[in-house]
Structure 1
Amino acid sequence: MVKKLKIVIAVCIVTLLAACSDPVQEEIISYVNEDLPEIAKLEEEVIGKYDSVTGENYKDDEILYDALTNEIIPDYSQLIDKLEAIQLSDKELRDIHEDYIEAANQQYSAFTKMLAAIENQDYALIEEVYGILSQSRKDMRDYQYDLKEYAEENDVEIKE
């Protein structure tokens, strides 16, 4: 009986806290805890695949081309679809999320341009791709800082 009472009290406290929380706080918490984990995991996998065939891991154009065609671009397209499917009601959070979508689209564009660069052996286009990738990484960092700052403004702590 005492255990049941403790459980009922605990449930009531959680319910009261949830009832008192701000809708913006709830949306930020839902966004970070429910929407982003699957996307972050997929992004980590795709970038891992890209890293495994570029830089110091680069072997030849054929391996890079195959990875881009068969894994990286299709998986990143799926990631963008998942990002675009997220519906947010808070305008400021939605604007921050749009920055993520824009950075992801830049990265996707870089991957597809890399295919064209390989097909045409266009080294100038490869340099352009590296510039786009660099900008998209910066934009991703800006998105992360903006999200964390907005969460803090709304008394939500994001733990990494």
Structure 2
Amino acid sequence: MLILSGCSGTEAAENALSKVTGKDPIQDNLLNYINEQLIPLQTEESTLVQQFNTQLDDPSIADAELHDTLKEIIPVYKDLIGRIEAIRPDTTEVRYLHELYIATANKQYNAMVQLQAAINNQDMNLVSEANEKLEEARRGDRAFNNALNDLSEAHNIVDIPSEENQ
């Protein structure tokens, strides 16, 4: 497990409040968001997406088997999205970041639902549309990770190996 921590310093990226008080509310909010809210949900989401991708990427999987997997994953993923959307970061910067995450999770979910409908209806056009949504979700994931890295860097948040990684 990876734990993130803030570093104090006088880097130009620190905001005005940080320079005056030594505290950075964005850093505090981002650390809480990552460590307490995001990591547990991302772990669960990663498991679901990996289960989906394993089925999707296996050419020997029959449509019926993929359909059964989607039937199992979709309700769990929908519940997960509800918990993701319930997160309310305190700062504007972290809220913006979280909105990127919500949008990406919803694109992934919608692609799964559309693929399930495509299998039900034997509709190759829906399969193509679902694949486009999956690609949008991948782009959204990259945008989220880039924004997370930028905001973390701007507020002096660094990776600290936890005891499990040592």
Quick check: TM above 0.5? yes
Confirm or deny that 1:148 pairs with 2:144: no
Give the secondary-structure state (helix, strand or coil) at the position aligned to 2:100.
Answer: helix
Q: Please tell me whether the aligned partners of residues 105 and 137 of structure 2 are also in contact (alpha carbons under 8 angstroms).
A: yes
Count of aligned pairs? 141
Q: Deviations over 1:108-144 (max 9, x none)?
A: 1111011110011001110111111011111111101
Q: 2:25 aligns with which of 23, 32, 42?
A: 23
Q: Normalising by structure 1, report the TM-score.
A: 0.82
The letter for the 1-side match of 2:146 is Y
Q: Please tell me whether the aligned partners of residues 45 and 80 of structure 2 are also in contact (alpha carbons under 8 angstroms).
A: yes
- Partners of 2:88 and 2:126 lie apart in 1 by 35
Q: Greater share of helix residues, 1 or 2?
A: 1
1:159/1:68 CA distance change after superposition, 3 Å: farther
Q: Please tell me whether the aligned partners of residues 74 and 109 of structure 2 are also in contact (alpha carbons under 8 angstroms).
A: yes
What residue ranges of structure 2 are gaps of 5+ in the alignment?
1-20, 162-166
Percent identity of equivalent pairs:
32
Deviation at 1:89, TM superposition (A): 1.4
- Report which structure shows greater RCO (CA 8 Å, sep ≥6): 2
Q: Please tell me whether the aligned partners of residues 58 and 64 of structure 1 are also in contact (alpha carbons under 8 angstroms).
A: no
Structure number, greater radius of gyration: 1
Deviation at 1:56, TM superposition (A): 2.3
In structure 2, the partner of 1:122 is 123
Cα RMSD over matched residues? 1.7
Q: Deviations over 1:61-100 (max 9, x none)?
A: 1111111012x11121122112111111111210111011
Q: Greater share of strand residues, 1 or 2?
A: 2
What residue ranges of structure 1 are gaps of 5+ in the alignment?
1-18
In structure 2, the partner of 1:109 is 110
- Partners of 1:104 and 1:92 lie apart in 2 by 19
- Partners of 2:44 and 2:158 lie apart in 1 by 24
Q: Aligned runs of 1:61-72 on 2, under 5 Å?
A: 61-70=63-72, 72=73
Q: Aligned runs of 1:78-93 on 2, under 5 Å?
A: 78-93=79-94
In structure 1, the partner of 2:77 is 76
In structure 1, the partner of 2:7 is none
The runs of 4+ residues in structure 1 deviating greater than 3 Å are none
In structure 2, the partner of 1:54 is 56
Q: Normalising by structure 2, report the TM-score.
A: 0.79
